[in-house]
Amino acid sequence: MAGTLSNLSRLWTIACTLGHNDALIPSEYLASMPMSLKLARWFFGGRRGKGGALAPGLRLARALESLGPAHIKLGQILATRPDLVGSNIATALEGLQDRLPSFSTEEARAVVAASFGRAVETLFATFGEPVAAASIAQVHEATTAEESPRRVAVKVLRPCVEAEFARDLSALAFAARISERLSAEARRLRVTALVETLATSVALELDLRMEAAAASELAERTRNEADFRVPAIDWSRTAERVLTTEWIDGISVRDVEVLRAAGHDPKKIALTLMRSFLTQALREGFFHADLHPGNLFVDGRGHLVAVDFGIMGRLDPLMRSFMAETLAGFLARDYVRVAQAHYGANFVPGRHPVETFAQALRAIGEPIFGRSAKDVSMAKLLQQLFDTTRRFDMQAQPQLLLLQKTMVVVEGVARSLDPEFDIWEASRPVVERWMLDRLGPEARLREAAEGMGALGRVAQHLPQLLRNAEVVSAMLADGGLRLHPDTVQQIAEAQLKGARYTRIAIWLAAGALGVIAMVWIA
Protein backbone atom coordinates (compact mmCIF):
# COMPACT_ATOMS: atom_id res chain seq x y z
CA MET A 1 0.00 0.00 0.00
CA ALA A 2 2.81 2.39 0.92
CA GLY A 3 4.43 1.67 -2.44
CA THR A 4 1.21 2.48 -4.30
CA LEU A 5 0.77 5.76 -2.43
CA SER A 6 4.39 6.69 -3.10
CA ASN A 7 3.98 5.93 -6.81
CA LEU A 8 0.75 7.94 -7.00
CA SER A 9 2.39 10.88 -5.25
CA ARG A 10 5.32 10.88 -7.65
CA LEU A 11 3.00 10.52 -10.66
CA TRP A 12 1.04 13.53 -9.42
CA THR A 13 4.26 15.57 -9.33
CA ILE A 14 5.18 14.38 -12.82
CA ALA A 15 1.72 15.17 -14.23
CA CYS A 16 1.70 18.65 -12.69
CA THR A 17 5.19 19.41 -14.01
CA LEU A 18 4.16 18.34 -17.50
CA GLY A 19 0.94 20.31 -17.17
CA HIS A 20 2.67 23.50 -16.08
CA ASN A 21 4.96 23.23 -19.12
CA ASP A 22 1.96 22.63 -21.40
CA ALA A 23 3.45 19.25 -22.28
CA LEU A 24 0.88 16.87 -20.82
CA ILE A 25 -2.04 17.75 -23.10
CA PRO A 26 -0.61 20.44 -25.43
CA SER A 27 -2.68 23.51 -26.19
CA GLU A 28 -2.19 22.98 -29.94
CA TYR A 29 -4.80 20.21 -29.75
CA LEU A 30 -7.22 22.10 -27.55
CA ALA A 31 -9.84 22.70 -30.27
CA SER A 32 -10.24 19.00 -31.05
CA MET A 33 -10.09 17.78 -27.44
CA PRO A 34 -13.13 16.17 -25.80
CA MET A 35 -14.34 17.87 -22.66
CA SER A 36 -12.80 15.16 -20.46
CA LEU A 37 -9.29 15.99 -21.73
CA LYS A 38 -9.90 19.71 -21.40
CA LEU A 39 -10.86 19.18 -17.77
CA ALA A 40 -7.81 16.98 -17.19
CA ARG A 41 -5.58 19.62 -18.75
CA TRP A 42 -7.09 22.28 -16.47
CA PHE A 43 -6.79 20.00 -13.42
CA PHE A 44 -3.07 19.38 -13.93
CA GLY A 45 -2.19 23.01 -14.47
CA GLY A 46 -2.41 23.34 -18.25
CA ARG A 47 -4.38 26.56 -17.77
CA ARG A 48 -1.17 28.06 -16.35
CA GLY A 49 1.02 26.58 -19.05
CA LYS A 50 4.50 28.07 -19.53
CA GLY A 51 4.94 26.83 -23.07
CA GLY A 52 5.21 30.21 -24.72
CA ALA A 53 6.30 30.01 -28.34
CA LEU A 54 8.09 26.67 -27.96
CA ALA A 55 6.97 23.66 -30.00
CA PRO A 56 5.31 20.76 -28.09
CA GLY A 57 8.39 18.55 -28.32
CA LEU A 58 10.65 21.24 -26.92
CA ARG A 59 8.21 21.89 -24.07
CA LEU A 60 8.25 18.18 -23.26
CA ALA A 61 12.05 18.15 -23.31
CA ARG A 62 12.15 21.10 -20.91
CA ALA A 63 9.69 19.42 -18.54
CA LEU A 64 11.66 16.15 -18.54
CA GLU A 65 14.89 18.00 -17.81
CA SER A 66 13.28 19.65 -14.79
CA LEU A 67 12.06 16.27 -13.47
CA GLY A 68 15.58 14.92 -13.12
CA PRO A 69 17.92 12.16 -14.32
CA ALA A 70 15.41 9.30 -14.76
CA HIS A 71 13.13 11.42 -16.92
CA ILE A 72 16.02 12.72 -19.00
CA LYS A 73 16.91 9.11 -19.77
CA LEU A 74 13.25 8.35 -20.50
CA GLY A 75 13.17 11.25 -22.96
CA GLN A 76 16.28 9.96 -24.69
CA ILE A 77 14.62 6.56 -25.12
CA LEU A 78 11.39 8.16 -26.36
CA ALA A 79 13.50 9.87 -29.02
CA THR A 80 13.97 6.39 -30.52
CA ARG A 81 10.20 5.78 -30.61
CA PRO A 82 8.55 8.07 -33.19
CA ASP A 83 5.89 5.37 -33.50
CA LEU A 84 4.94 6.19 -29.92
CA VAL A 85 5.34 9.97 -29.67
CA GLY A 86 5.31 11.09 -33.31
CA SER A 87 8.20 12.19 -35.50
CA ASN A 88 8.21 15.88 -34.51
CA ILE A 89 8.37 15.18 -30.79
CA ALA A 90 10.94 12.40 -31.28
CA THR A 91 13.14 14.83 -33.22
CA ALA A 92 12.83 17.45 -30.48
CA LEU A 93 13.75 14.90 -27.81
CA GLU A 94 16.91 13.92 -29.71
CA GLY A 95 18.35 17.22 -28.53
CA LEU A 96 17.48 16.53 -24.90
CA GLN A 97 20.48 17.52 -22.85
CA ASP A 98 21.58 15.66 -19.75
CA ARG A 99 24.01 18.34 -18.64
CA LEU A 100 23.29 19.24 -15.05
CA PRO A 101 25.07 21.38 -12.46
CA SER A 102 28.10 19.64 -11.04
CA PHE A 103 28.34 18.47 -7.44
CA SER A 104 31.28 19.46 -5.30
CA THR A 105 34.76 18.03 -5.72
CA GLU A 106 34.75 17.20 -2.00
CA GLU A 107 31.73 14.93 -2.53
CA ALA A 108 33.41 13.31 -5.52
CA ARG A 109 36.58 12.64 -3.52
CA ALA A 110 34.44 11.09 -0.77
CA VAL A 111 32.85 8.72 -3.30
CA VAL A 112 36.29 7.72 -4.59
CA ALA A 113 37.67 7.13 -1.09
CA ALA A 114 34.63 5.06 -0.06
CA SER A 115 34.78 3.00 -3.27
CA PHE A 116 38.38 1.88 -2.71
CA GLY A 117 38.65 2.12 1.07
CA ARG A 118 41.73 4.30 0.64
CA ALA A 119 42.62 7.98 0.75
CA VAL A 120 42.30 9.66 -2.65
CA GLU A 121 45.96 10.73 -2.47
CA THR A 122 47.10 7.10 -2.60
CA LEU A 123 45.32 6.72 -5.96
CA PHE A 124 45.70 10.13 -7.57
CA ALA A 125 48.52 12.65 -7.23
CA THR A 126 46.15 15.37 -8.46
CA PHE A 127 42.36 15.40 -8.64
CA GLY A 128 40.93 18.46 -10.36
CA GLU A 129 37.58 20.20 -10.52
CA PRO A 130 34.82 18.64 -12.68
CA VAL A 131 35.22 19.21 -16.42
CA ALA A 132 31.79 17.79 -17.41
CA ALA A 133 28.63 16.96 -15.48
CA ALA A 134 25.72 14.86 -16.74
CA SER A 135 22.57 13.35 -15.27
CA ILE A 136 24.25 10.30 -13.75
CA ALA A 137 27.90 11.20 -13.21
CA GLN A 138 30.56 13.82 -13.70
CA VAL A 139 34.16 13.69 -14.94
CA HIS A 140 37.35 15.01 -13.32
CA GLU A 141 40.83 15.31 -14.77
CA ALA A 142 43.45 13.66 -12.56
CA THR A 143 46.98 12.24 -12.56
CA THR A 144 47.81 8.85 -11.13
CA ALA A 145 49.90 8.44 -7.98
CA GLU A 146 52.72 6.26 -9.28
CA GLU A 147 56.31 6.50 -10.36
CA SER A 148 55.37 7.51 -13.91
CA PRO A 149 52.17 9.56 -13.46
CA ARG A 150 49.53 9.38 -16.18
CA ARG A 151 46.76 11.84 -16.99
CA VAL A 152 43.40 10.15 -16.56
CA ALA A 153 39.70 10.93 -16.68
CA VAL A 154 37.82 9.93 -13.52
CA LYS A 155 34.06 9.47 -13.81
CA VAL A 156 32.18 9.57 -10.50
CA LEU A 157 28.49 8.77 -9.90
CA ARG A 158 26.30 11.46 -8.38
CA PRO A 159 25.55 10.97 -4.66
CA CYS A 160 22.15 9.32 -4.05
CA VAL A 161 21.48 8.96 -7.81
CA GLU A 162 20.52 5.30 -7.36
CA ALA A 163 17.70 6.19 -4.96
CA GLU A 164 16.38 8.87 -7.33
CA PHE A 165 16.23 6.42 -10.20
CA ALA A 166 14.60 3.70 -8.08
CA ARG A 167 11.83 6.12 -7.03
CA ASP A 168 11.05 7.35 -10.53
CA LEU A 169 11.36 3.96 -12.23
CA SER A 170 8.90 2.48 -9.75
CA ALA A 171 6.39 5.24 -10.53
CA LEU A 172 6.84 4.89 -14.28
CA ALA A 173 6.46 1.09 -14.14
CA PHE A 174 3.27 1.50 -12.09
CA ALA A 175 1.86 3.93 -14.66
CA ALA A 176 2.83 1.62 -17.55
CA ARG A 177 1.04 -1.36 -15.99
CA ILE A 178 -2.13 0.66 -15.45
CA SER A 179 -2.07 2.05 -18.99
CA GLU A 180 -1.71 -1.41 -20.54
CA ARG A 181 -4.69 -2.67 -18.55
CA LEU A 182 -6.84 0.20 -19.81
CA SER A 183 -5.58 0.79 -23.36
CA ALA A 184 -5.13 -1.58 -26.30
CA GLU A 185 -2.86 1.01 -27.97
CA ALA A 186 -0.62 1.02 -24.89
CA ARG A 187 -0.40 -2.76 -25.11
CA ARG A 188 0.53 -2.57 -28.80
CA LEU A 189 3.21 0.01 -28.08
CA ARG A 190 4.49 -2.13 -25.18
CA VAL A 191 4.92 0.75 -22.77
CA THR A 192 5.77 -1.67 -19.96
CA ALA A 193 8.61 -3.04 -22.08
CA LEU A 194 9.69 0.56 -22.74
CA VAL A 195 10.04 1.21 -19.00
CA GLU A 196 11.82 -2.14 -18.57
CA THR A 197 14.27 -1.10 -21.29
CA LEU A 198 14.87 2.14 -19.42
CA ALA A 199 15.39 0.25 -16.15
CA THR A 200 17.85 -2.17 -17.75
CA SER A 201 19.78 0.66 -19.38
CA VAL A 202 19.93 2.58 -16.12
CA ALA A 203 21.01 -0.47 -14.11
CA LEU A 204 23.98 -0.85 -16.44
CA GLU A 205 24.83 2.85 -16.37
CA LEU A 206 24.71 2.96 -12.56
CA ASP A 207 27.44 0.31 -12.32
CA LEU A 208 30.51 1.89 -13.85
CA ARG A 209 32.26 -1.49 -13.94
CA MET A 210 29.76 -2.45 -16.65
CA GLU A 211 30.67 0.65 -18.63
CA ALA A 212 34.34 -0.24 -18.23
CA ALA A 213 33.64 -3.75 -19.46
CA ALA A 214 31.73 -2.39 -22.47
CA ALA A 215 34.61 -0.10 -23.38
CA SER A 216 37.08 -2.94 -22.98
CA GLU A 217 34.99 -5.26 -25.18
CA LEU A 218 34.57 -2.65 -27.90
CA ALA A 219 38.31 -1.91 -27.82
CA GLU A 220 39.04 -5.61 -28.27
CA ARG A 221 36.56 -5.97 -31.13
CA THR A 222 37.87 -2.88 -32.97
CA ARG A 223 41.58 -3.29 -32.27
CA ASN A 224 42.31 -3.80 -35.98
CA GLU A 225 40.50 -0.62 -37.03
CA ALA A 226 43.16 1.79 -38.25
CA ASP A 227 41.36 5.08 -37.62
CA PHE A 228 39.13 4.36 -34.61
CA ARG A 229 40.06 3.66 -31.03
CA VAL A 230 38.69 3.42 -27.49
CA PRO A 231 40.37 4.92 -24.38
CA ALA A 232 42.23 2.38 -22.25
CA ILE A 233 40.62 1.39 -18.94
CA ASP A 234 42.52 1.72 -15.66
CA TRP A 235 41.01 -1.30 -13.91
CA SER A 236 42.98 -0.75 -10.70
CA ARG A 237 41.16 2.58 -10.23
CA THR A 238 37.71 1.46 -11.39
CA ALA A 239 34.85 0.36 -9.10
CA GLU A 240 31.05 0.34 -9.06
CA ARG A 241 30.82 4.13 -8.62
CA VAL A 242 34.17 5.21 -10.12
CA LEU A 243 35.54 4.71 -13.65
CA THR A 244 39.07 5.71 -14.64
CA THR A 245 40.29 5.83 -18.25
CA GLU A 246 43.18 7.39 -20.10
CA TRP A 247 42.80 11.11 -20.70
CA ILE A 248 42.03 12.01 -24.30
CA ASP A 249 43.68 15.13 -25.65
CA GLY A 250 41.53 15.70 -28.69
CA ILE A 251 39.29 18.01 -30.66
CA SER A 252 35.54 17.55 -30.56
CA VAL A 253 34.00 16.60 -33.91
CA ARG A 254 31.59 19.52 -33.47
CA ASP A 255 34.52 21.95 -33.94
CA VAL A 256 34.89 21.52 -37.71
CA GLU A 257 36.99 24.63 -38.30
CA VAL A 258 39.31 23.76 -35.43
CA LEU A 259 39.75 20.29 -36.94
CA ARG A 260 40.70 21.82 -40.29
CA ALA A 261 43.12 24.24 -38.64
CA ALA A 262 44.80 21.29 -36.91
CA GLY A 263 45.32 19.57 -40.27
CA HIS A 264 42.51 17.02 -40.04
CA ASP A 265 40.17 16.27 -42.95
CA PRO A 266 36.52 16.45 -41.80
CA LYS A 267 35.42 14.38 -44.81
CA LYS A 268 37.74 11.55 -43.82
CA ILE A 269 36.51 11.75 -40.22
CA ALA A 270 32.90 11.47 -41.41
CA LEU A 271 33.81 8.39 -43.46
CA THR A 272 35.64 6.81 -40.52
CA LEU A 273 32.67 7.40 -38.22
CA MET A 274 30.12 5.79 -40.53
CA ARG A 275 32.26 2.78 -41.40
CA SER A 276 33.33 2.21 -37.80
CA PHE A 277 29.73 2.27 -36.62
CA LEU A 278 28.56 -0.15 -39.33
CA THR A 279 31.46 -2.48 -38.65
CA GLN A 280 30.58 -2.55 -34.97
CA ALA A 281 26.89 -3.18 -35.62
CA LEU A 282 26.99 -5.57 -38.57
CA ARG A 283 30.19 -7.53 -38.10
CA GLU A 284 30.47 -7.54 -34.31
CA GLY A 285 26.82 -7.19 -33.26
CA PHE A 286 28.02 -4.81 -30.51
CA PHE A 287 28.04 -1.06 -31.03
CA HIS A 288 28.38 2.28 -29.28
CA ALA A 289 24.80 3.57 -29.19
CA ASP A 290 25.43 7.16 -28.04
CA LEU A 291 27.63 8.60 -30.79
CA HIS A 292 26.61 12.24 -30.43
CA PRO A 293 29.24 14.97 -31.01
CA GLY A 294 30.00 15.35 -27.30
CA ASN A 295 31.26 11.76 -27.21
CA LEU A 296 33.51 11.91 -30.28
CA PHE A 297 37.01 13.40 -30.48
CA VAL A 298 39.92 13.37 -32.91
CA ASP A 299 43.32 12.87 -31.30
CA GLY A 300 46.68 14.22 -32.42
CA ARG A 301 47.32 11.24 -34.69
CA GLY A 302 44.01 11.70 -36.49
CA HIS A 303 42.25 8.78 -34.80
CA LEU A 304 38.53 9.07 -34.09
CA VAL A 305 38.10 8.38 -30.36
CA ALA A 306 34.75 7.57 -28.72
CA VAL A 307 34.05 8.07 -25.02
CA ASP A 308 31.12 7.37 -22.65
CA PHE A 309 30.10 3.71 -23.04
CA GLY A 310 27.02 3.76 -20.82
CA ILE A 311 24.64 3.03 -23.72
CA MET A 312 25.67 0.11 -25.93
CA GLY A 313 23.66 -1.89 -28.44
CA ARG A 314 23.73 -5.58 -29.28
CA LEU A 315 22.32 -7.47 -32.23
CA ASP A 316 21.94 -11.21 -31.73
CA PRO A 317 22.70 -13.61 -34.62
CA LEU A 318 19.03 -14.04 -35.49
CA MET A 319 18.52 -10.30 -35.72
CA ARG A 320 21.59 -9.92 -37.91
CA SER A 321 20.32 -12.71 -40.16
CA PHE A 322 17.00 -10.89 -40.42
CA MET A 323 18.86 -7.74 -41.35
CA ALA A 324 20.81 -9.64 -44.01
CA GLU A 325 17.60 -10.92 -45.60
CA THR A 326 16.02 -7.48 -45.47
CA LEU A 327 19.07 -5.75 -46.92
CA ALA A 328 19.53 -8.32 -49.69
CA GLY A 329 15.84 -8.03 -50.57
CA PHE A 330 15.97 -4.24 -50.80
CA LEU A 331 19.12 -4.33 -52.93
CA ALA A 332 17.42 -6.81 -55.29
CA ARG A 333 14.18 -4.78 -55.13
CA ASP A 334 12.47 -8.01 -54.06
CA TYR A 335 9.93 -6.58 -51.64
CA VAL A 336 8.08 -9.86 -51.18
CA ARG A 337 11.30 -11.35 -49.88
CA VAL A 338 11.70 -8.46 -47.41
CA ALA A 339 8.10 -8.93 -46.30
CA GLN A 340 8.61 -12.68 -45.83
CA ALA A 341 11.66 -11.97 -43.67
CA HIS A 342 9.44 -9.87 -41.39
CA TYR A 343 6.78 -12.57 -41.22
CA GLY A 344 9.37 -15.31 -40.71
CA ALA A 345 10.66 -13.44 -37.67
CA ASN A 346 7.06 -13.00 -36.41
CA PHE A 347 7.43 -9.23 -36.50
CA VAL A 348 4.18 -8.67 -38.43
CA PRO A 349 0.91 -10.41 -37.43
CA GLY A 350 -0.24 -13.03 -39.93
CA ARG A 351 -3.64 -11.38 -40.39
CA HIS A 352 -2.03 -8.88 -42.77
CA PRO A 353 -1.45 -10.27 -46.30
CA VAL A 354 2.21 -10.59 -47.22
CA GLU A 355 1.51 -8.95 -50.58
CA THR A 356 0.02 -5.87 -48.94
CA PHE A 357 2.99 -5.47 -46.64
CA ALA A 358 5.33 -5.94 -49.62
CA GLN A 359 3.43 -3.18 -51.40
CA ALA A 360 4.05 -0.84 -48.48
CA LEU A 361 7.76 -1.76 -48.52
CA ARG A 362 7.87 -1.01 -52.24
CA ALA A 363 6.58 2.49 -51.48
CA ILE A 364 9.62 2.92 -49.22
CA GLY A 365 12.24 1.35 -51.45
CA GLU A 366 11.38 2.48 -54.95
CA PRO A 367 11.85 6.25 -54.38
CA ILE A 368 15.47 5.54 -53.41
CA PHE A 369 16.42 4.01 -56.75
CA GLY A 370 17.33 6.46 -59.44
CA ARG A 371 18.10 9.26 -56.99
CA SER A 372 21.45 10.59 -55.96
CA ALA A 373 22.41 8.77 -52.78
CA LYS A 374 23.48 11.97 -51.05
CA ASP A 375 19.95 13.30 -51.53
CA VAL A 376 18.39 10.43 -49.59
CA SER A 377 18.23 10.95 -45.83
CA MET A 378 18.51 7.88 -43.65
CA ALA A 379 16.49 9.70 -41.00
CA LYS A 380 13.55 10.19 -43.38
CA LEU A 381 13.80 6.63 -44.62
CA LEU A 382 13.69 5.30 -41.07
CA GLN A 383 10.66 7.46 -40.35
CA GLN A 384 8.85 5.82 -43.27
CA LEU A 385 9.74 2.42 -41.85
CA PHE A 386 8.36 3.42 -38.43
CA ASP A 387 5.13 4.59 -40.04
CA THR A 388 4.83 1.31 -41.94
CA THR A 389 5.36 -0.83 -38.87
CA ARG A 390 2.66 1.10 -37.06
CA ARG A 391 0.13 0.54 -39.86
CA PHE A 392 0.83 -3.18 -39.86
CA ASP A 393 0.81 -3.60 -36.07
CA MET A 394 4.47 -4.55 -35.96
CA GLN A 395 5.71 -4.53 -32.39
CA ALA A 396 8.78 -2.48 -31.66
CA GLN A 397 12.06 -4.40 -31.68
CA PRO A 398 14.36 -2.83 -29.07
CA GLN A 399 17.56 -4.02 -30.78
CA LEU A 400 16.58 -2.49 -34.11
CA LEU A 401 15.18 0.68 -32.54
CA LEU A 402 18.50 1.42 -30.86
CA LEU A 403 20.37 0.64 -34.08
CA GLN A 404 18.10 2.90 -36.11
CA LYS A 405 18.29 5.74 -33.59
CA THR A 406 22.09 5.54 -33.57
CA MET A 407 22.21 5.47 -37.37
CA VAL A 408 20.21 8.71 -37.50
CA VAL A 409 22.61 10.38 -35.03
CA VAL A 410 25.68 9.12 -36.91
CA GLU A 411 24.28 10.41 -40.19
CA GLY A 412 23.72 13.81 -38.61
CA VAL A 413 27.26 13.99 -37.23
CA ALA A 414 28.75 12.84 -40.54
CA ARG A 415 26.84 15.47 -42.51
CA SER A 416 27.84 18.18 -40.04
CA LEU A 417 31.45 17.26 -40.87
CA ASP A 418 30.76 16.95 -44.59
CA PRO A 419 27.53 18.53 -45.92
CA GLU A 420 27.96 16.50 -49.15
CA PHE A 421 28.36 13.24 -47.25
CA ASP A 422 27.01 10.25 -49.18
CA ILE A 423 25.88 7.77 -46.52
CA TRP A 424 25.21 5.01 -49.04
CA GLU A 425 28.58 5.19 -50.77
CA ALA A 426 30.32 5.37 -47.40
CA SER A 427 28.43 2.32 -46.18
CA ARG A 428 28.76 0.18 -49.27
CA PRO A 429 32.21 -1.46 -48.69
CA VAL A 430 31.24 -2.51 -45.15
CA VAL A 431 27.79 -3.74 -46.17
CA GLU A 432 29.05 -5.60 -49.25
CA ARG A 433 31.71 -7.42 -47.29
CA TRP A 434 29.21 -8.30 -44.59
CA MET A 435 26.71 -9.60 -47.14
CA LEU A 436 29.34 -11.82 -48.73
CA ASP A 437 30.36 -13.14 -45.31
CA ARG A 438 26.76 -13.80 -44.27
CA LEU A 439 25.05 -14.73 -47.52
CA GLY A 440 27.71 -16.05 -49.85
CA PRO A 441 27.87 -19.75 -50.75
CA GLU A 442 31.38 -19.98 -49.33
CA ALA A 443 30.08 -18.80 -45.94
CA ARG A 444 27.35 -21.46 -45.96
CA LEU A 445 29.81 -24.20 -46.92
CA ARG A 446 32.25 -23.04 -44.26
CA GLU A 447 29.46 -23.04 -41.69
CA ALA A 448 28.42 -26.53 -42.76
CA ALA A 449 31.96 -27.82 -42.30
CA GLU A 450 32.15 -26.72 -38.67
CA GLY A 451 31.24 -29.07 -35.85
CA MET A 452 29.35 -32.31 -35.57
CA GLY A 453 26.11 -30.77 -36.87
CA ALA A 454 27.46 -30.16 -40.37
CA LEU A 455 25.04 -32.43 -42.26
CA GLY A 456 21.95 -30.96 -40.64
CA ARG A 457 23.07 -27.39 -41.23
CA VAL A 458 23.84 -28.01 -44.90
CA ALA A 459 20.38 -29.50 -45.41
CA GLN A 460 18.83 -26.57 -43.58
CA HIS A 461 20.70 -23.87 -45.52
CA LEU A 462 20.75 -25.44 -48.99
CA PRO A 463 17.48 -23.81 -50.19
CA GLN A 464 18.54 -20.42 -48.81
CA LEU A 465 22.04 -20.82 -50.30
CA LEU A 466 20.50 -21.32 -53.74
CA ARG A 467 18.17 -18.32 -53.28
CA ASN A 468 21.04 -16.10 -52.13
CA ALA A 469 23.24 -17.21 -55.03
CA GLU A 470 20.39 -16.44 -57.44
CA VAL A 471 19.87 -12.96 -55.96
CA VAL A 472 23.58 -12.10 -56.01
CA SER A 473 23.92 -13.42 -59.58
CA ALA A 474 20.94 -11.35 -60.71
CA MET A 475 22.39 -8.21 -59.13
CA LEU A 476 25.74 -8.82 -60.78
CA ALA A 477 24.14 -9.43 -64.18
CA ASP A 478 22.10 -6.25 -63.81
CA GLY A 479 25.09 -4.19 -62.76
CA GLY A 480 23.41 -3.48 -59.42
CA LEU A 481 26.18 -4.83 -57.19
CA ARG A 482 29.50 -3.27 -58.11
CA LEU A 483 32.02 -4.00 -55.40
CA HIS A 484 33.79 -1.00 -53.95
CA PRO A 485 37.62 -1.11 -54.39
CA ASP A 486 38.02 -1.31 -50.59
CA THR A 487 35.78 -4.37 -50.57
CA VAL A 488 37.73 -6.06 -53.36
CA GLN A 489 40.98 -5.47 -51.50
CA GLN A 490 39.54 -6.87 -48.25
CA ILE A 491 38.25 -9.97 -50.06
CA ALA A 492 41.61 -10.57 -51.70
CA GLU A 493 43.44 -10.23 -48.38
CA ALA A 494 40.96 -12.54 -46.66
CA GLN A 495 41.35 -15.14 -49.41
CA LEU A 496 45.13 -15.05 -49.17
CA LYS A 497 45.06 -15.39 -45.39
CA GLY A 498 42.35 -18.03 -45.22
CA ALA A 499 42.81 -19.95 -48.47
CA ARG A 500 43.88 -23.19 -46.83
CA TYR A 501 41.04 -23.13 -44.31
CA THR A 502 38.49 -22.33 -47.00
CA ARG A 503 39.61 -25.18 -49.26
CA ILE A 504 39.30 -27.65 -46.39
CA ALA A 505 35.85 -26.28 -45.49
CA ILE A 506 34.65 -26.55 -49.09
CA TRP A 507 35.91 -30.14 -49.47
CA LEU A 508 34.27 -31.19 -46.20
CA ALA A 509 31.01 -29.51 -47.11
CA ALA A 510 31.08 -31.00 -50.61
CA GLY A 511 31.48 -34.43 -49.06
CA ALA A 512 28.55 -33.73 -46.75
CA LEU A 513 26.41 -32.72 -49.72
CA GLY A 514 27.37 -35.95 -51.46
CA VAL A 515 26.26 -38.00 -48.48
CA ILE A 516 22.94 -36.15 -48.38
CA ALA A 517 22.44 -36.74 -52.11
CA MET A 518 23.04 -40.48 -51.73
CA VAL A 519 20.55 -40.65 -48.86
CA TRP A 520 17.91 -38.81 -50.91
CA ILE A 521 18.53 -41.11 -53.93
CA ALA A 522 18.28 -44.22 -51.77
The answer to whether position 191 is within a domain reads: yes
Q: Do residue 129 and residue 174 come from a single domain?
A: yes
The answer to whether position 433 is within a domain reads: no
Which is higher by pLDDT, 403 or 241?
241
Q: What's the predicted TM-score (pTM) here?
A: 0.72
The residues that bridge with 299 in the sheet, in sequence order, are 250
pLDDT tens-digit map of 433-491: 777 776 666 555 655 555 445 445 545 555 555 555 555 455 445 444 444 555 455 54
**Is residue 298 within 8 Å of 250, Cβ to Cβ?**
yes
The answer to whether position 474 is within a domain reads: yes
334 is catalytic: no
Please give, one letter per residue, the 3-state secondary structure of 225-260. CCCEECCCECHHHCECCEEEEECCCEEECCCHHHHH
Q: Which of 400, 426, 452 is the last residue of a domain?
A: 426
The answer to whether position 204 is within a domain reads: yes
**Is residue 39 within 8 Å of 24, Cβ to Cβ?**
no
Q: Do residue 290 and residue 368 come from a single domain?
A: yes
From 22, 83, 290, 418, the catalytic residue:
290
- Is the pLDDT reported for residue 232 higher than 50? yes
Domain range for 324: 253-426
Q: Do residue 221 and residue 352 come from a single domain?
A: no
Average pLDDT of span 78-96? 72
Q: Do residue 91 and residue 230 come from a single domain?
A: no
- Is the pLDDT reported for residue 265 higher than 90? yes
Average pLDDT of span 414-423? 88
Q: Do residue 336 and residue 411 come from a single domain?
A: yes
**Diameter of the chain by CA atoms?**
83
Provide the domain count of the chain. Answer: 4
- Is the pLDDT reported for residue 222 higher than 50? yes
Amino acid at 476: L
Tell me, what's the pLDDT at 485? 53
**In which band, very low, low, confident or very high, does the pLDDT at 257 lie, cut at 50, 70 and 90?**
very high
The answer to whether position 34 is within a domain reads: yes
Q: Do residue 260 and residue 407 come from a single domain?
A: yes
The answer to whether position 434 is within a domain reads: no
H-assigned helices in 152-233: 161-182, 184-189, 191-205, 208-221
Q: Do residue 155 and residue 239 come from a single domain?
A: yes
Q: Do residue 520 and residue 394 come from a single domain?
A: no
Q: Which of 247, 262, 282 is the last residue of a domain?
A: 247
Q: Output the CA angle 270-72-19, nearest 5 degrees.
A: 130
Tell me, what's the pLDDT at 172? 85
Average pLDDT of span 410-422? 89
Q: Which of 369, 404, 426 is the last residue of a domain?
A: 426
Q: Do residue 270 and residue 355 come from a single domain?
A: yes
Tell me, what's the pLDDT at 461? 54
Q: C-alpha distances in angstroms, 189 versus 183, 209, 387, 390, 395? A: 10, 32, 13, 9, 7
- Is the pLDDT reported for residue 223 higher than 70? yes
The answer to whether position 347 is within a domain reads: yes
Q: Do residue 242 and residue 384 come from a single domain?
A: no
Q: Do residue 258 and residue 396 come from a single domain?
A: yes
Q: Do residue 203 and residue 281 come from a single domain?
A: no
The answer to whether position 120 is within a domain reads: yes
The residues that bridge with 312 in the sheet, in sequence order, are 288
The overall average pLDDT reported for the chain is 79
**Cα 35–chain centre separation:** 40
